[in-house]
Amino acid sequence: MDCQNCYMNRQNCYMNGNCPWEAGREITWAKSPFLGEFDFQRVHIVVSRRKNLIFAPNHFYLRMPRIFCFCRCSLLVSLSCLLLPSGAFAQQTMPFGKAITDKIAAAECAHASCKHVVLANVLTDDYDVSYYRCEWAVDPAVKAISGAITVYFKPKAGDFSIFHADLHDDMTLDSVRYHGAKITSHHPTGHILDAMLPAPLAMGVPDSLTMYYHGAPPTTGFGAFTQTTHGANNTPVIWTLSEPYGASDWWPCKNTTNDKADSLDVIVTTGSAYRAAGNGLLVEETAPAAGKKRYHWRHRYPITAYLVAIAVTDYEQFTHKAFVAGDSLPILNYVYPENYAQWKTDMFNTVDIMELYSTLFEPYPYRKEKYGHAQFSWGGGQEHQTMSFMTSADYSLQAHELAHQWFGNKITCGSFQDIWLNEGFATFLTGLSLEHLLGGQWWVPWKIDTRDNVLGNPNGSVFVPDTTDLWRIFNGRLSYAKGAMLLHQLRWLMGDSAFFAGLQSYLADPSLAYARTPDLQKHLEAASGRSLTEYFNDWLYGEGWPTYDVHWQQDIEGNFWVEMNQASSHPSVSFFEMKVPILFSDGAGKDTVIVFDNTHNGQVFSFYAPDFYFNATFDPEVWRCAKNTLTYAFTRTESLLEGAVTVGPVPATDRLDIATTRGVHLQSAVLYDLTGRPVASLAEESPQKTAQEGTILLSGLNVGIYLAKITTDKGTITRKVVKQ
């Protein structure tokens, strides 16, 4: 991977010319013969960003960089120096974590009943919404709203004579006007209203009507319409939060996940002491009467009903600027006065995150208007289109809600069964921001924390089987963390070029106002050239995760064996067929990662490795969502000799004494350096040389690590030797 194929082009590269791929790009290839007695499998060794990397079982090559190779520690140090954000200093407090993820998810259920009965309103399926003009009057001291909703629509079939919309039974429909004239309308029970048109409409012919209504919205779902206070003076505030099903609790609309209005105007009249936040651009602020203010927000992008929102209180405002697609983008913030100073500092993080996401995926979808935040007192955040509502200025909340503008708003999940297309992506993008920003110091901890969150319970699918259960929809471990790990693993399996190209293609698909998982899968498969059906069956629809039981062994000649088994935490998946990375270390600073293509239980990989390894680490860069046990498997001979041969002292200085017991007789001992070159053997003149004792003299040898190959009448054993 180089700058020609990198998902971040050279102009926007965060490595500032220090890309390790560029540094290790000139290579030579050297084939090595296989030596071993098990079924022949081959491995592929390449240079990674941080260490040698081996892929198995394709081809065995040793890739040798002519310039240099980044070690793990030096690259982490260089990243922390290179990736400091422009708008914020590196944080010392962890800006993410299971507690924060669970808080975001739980907050999104804070006012929710465990079950939310949703009646599919098939009566609204016979038209498409084109436009809403929402005119509202609110007093933040009173939990009530009155308004007029003008809707432009197109019938999907001929003989269209009755218009239906969703509206909660607790709200009062005052009247419906069609072309200025009042028409017959009803608001019976069942959260539905109907209006009788004076004459049937033809299919596809645009038309409009206006619904007048008022009432005190009910407390359902997350509290779609909330009135409370903030600050020492108990200043009143009203905000809305409609996800997933709450839009029709406070305004008449087509409350569905399959139809977006092409555009929107929001006009809020309130007291002159208050400001009103809304979607899109603030195009007008007027005083229609004494003691009154009117705010007109205009939004000219497709929007689903649950993302339409207002918030009203005594906001103070400030604006930061980000640069997206070569132009300045305002980031507007409406903040409680008591939090103004802190938020003005902390919200600089959004500038860096905005510019990062716009580079990784595509420019911010609503860049002709704005992005922003409005503070509310709820306990989490909500990604209202162009203006997220936020309880705090926490870094992870900024990253999460901004991510939704691409994944959740531009493309919205077509069913809450696929809520991971919103929440899993937002959690994953939070991780990406930690990879590239804040010095990179939180990237590895984020991966570990997110993985361990998933591994905390053996069951549960990312796919939501019951969309009436709000706690299940917004499950922090499954919809958020496991959804993020699904993407994180997929990025590693596909490689960055294919993965980010697939996501860019997904976002650019003009047919995807709403999406289901197969829509995403189609774009990722096209970018990678491989089927992902098995992967999604296991990790999206299936439950649980694997635990690997890995045994490894290497002899003095370099023959290497790895046996791999796995157990699933849940019976819905019998076997997770995936690649498995393991880091092997020689104890002298040389690390090699071998990636095994694990396709079945009991699989044995055998190959030749030029270096001798003493330690092994499962998934060293935390790409996999799995548990493991990793064991060095002694041969039968080694097991018999384990307690019968002693070598010391440890560490050694000028001599190495070897002794045998249990009737085992010493025959020879040879000391090798880590290149496999013999450097010393049993001293013939040593007075300790007997059938059961011997000495290797170490004078003249450099300080370092060696291997002692000890041969007895019962077999051969290898021991690591450290000379000081």
User: What CA–CA distance (Å, rounded) separates 47 from 54?
Assistant: 8
Model confidence at 712, pLDDT cuts 50, 70, 90, reads: confident
Q: Is the dihedral of CA 93, 99, 100, 101 positive or negative?
A: positive
Q: Where are the alpha helices (DSSP H) in 299-347?
A: 340-346
Helix (H) or strand (E) holding 324: strand 316-324
CA distances from 192 to 131, 172, 253, 470, 541 (A): 20, 11, 10, 22, 34
Model confidence at 635, pLDDT cuts 50, 70, 90, reads: low
pLDDT per position as a tens digit, 539-568: 999 999 999 999 998 876 778 889 999 999
pLDDT per position as a tens digit, 397-420: 999 999 999 999 999 999 999 999
User: What CA–CA distance (Å, rounded) separates 325 from 315?
Assistant: 30
Determine contact, residues 247/306, Cβ cutoff 8 Å. Answer: yes
User: What CA–CA distance (Å, rounded) separates 626 from 479?
Assistant: 17
- Percentage with pLDDT > 90 across the chain: 67
One-letter amino acid identity for 77?
Answer: V
Model confidence at 535, pLDDT cuts 50, 70, 90, reads: very high
Verdict on whether the full-model pTM lies above 0.75 = yes
- Percentage with pLDDT > 70 across the chain: 81
**What SS3 string covers 172-191?**
EEEEEEECCEEECEECCCCC
Mean pLDDT over 221-230 rounds to 87
Angle between helices 420-436 and 443-454 (to 10 degrees): 150
Q: Where are the alpha helices (DSSP H) in 592-687?
A: 636-641
Least confident of 15-19, 363-367, 665-669, 685-689: 15-19
| CATH topology assigned to domain 637-723 | Immunoglobulin-like (2.60.40)
Model confidence at 81, pLDDT cuts 50, 70, 90, reads: very low
Closest alpha carbon to 610 in 561, 675, 671, 563:
675
Mean pLDDT over 51-63 rounds to 33
Determine contact, residues 386/329, Cβ cutoff 8 Å. Answer: no
Q: HSE of 545 in the Cβ direction (CA atoms, 13 Å)? A: 24
pLDDT at 98: 67
pLDDT at 60: 29
636, burial (CB in 10 Å: exposed 0-12, middle 13-18, buried 19+): exposed
Mean pLDDT over 201-207 rounds to 97
Q: Which residues of 624-633 are buried (b: 16+ CB within 10 A; e: fewer)?
A: bbbbbebeee
pLDDT per position as a tens digit, 443-479: 999 999 999 999 999 999 999 999 999 899 999 999 9
A 10 A CB-CB count for 529 gives: 8
CB contact set of 292 (below 8 Å; sequence gap of 6+): 269, 270, 271, 272
Cis peptide before 649 (omega within 30 of 0): yes
- Domain boundaries of the chain, sorted by first residue: 1-68+549-633, 637-723
CA dihedral 687, 672, 581, 605 (to 10 degrees): -90
Q: Is the dihedral of CA 332, 338, 343, 345 positive or negative?
A: positive
Reading the block at residue 351, the tokens are: 């500038």
Reading the block at residue 367, the tokens are: 């860049």
Reading the block at residue 432, the tokens are: 């990406």
Place of tokens 């490894």: 552
Please list the helix, strand and coil fractions of the chain in percent, rounded to the nearest 5, in that order: 25, 35, 40
Reading the block at residue 477, the tokens are: 């471990």
Mean pLDDT over 150-172 rounds to 97
CB contact set of 174 (below 8 Å; sequence gap of 6+): 212, 213, 214
User: What CA–CA distance (Å, rounded) separates 683 from 698?
Assistant: 10
Between vectors from CA 83 to CA 81 and to CA 88, what angle results, nearest 5°?
Answer: 105
Determine contact, residues 381/402, Cβ cutoff 8 Å. Answer: no
Determine contact, residues 45/591, Cβ cutoff 8 Å. Answer: no
Residue 609 pLDDT exceeds 60:
yes
Model confidence at 590, pLDDT cuts 50, 70, 90, reads: confident
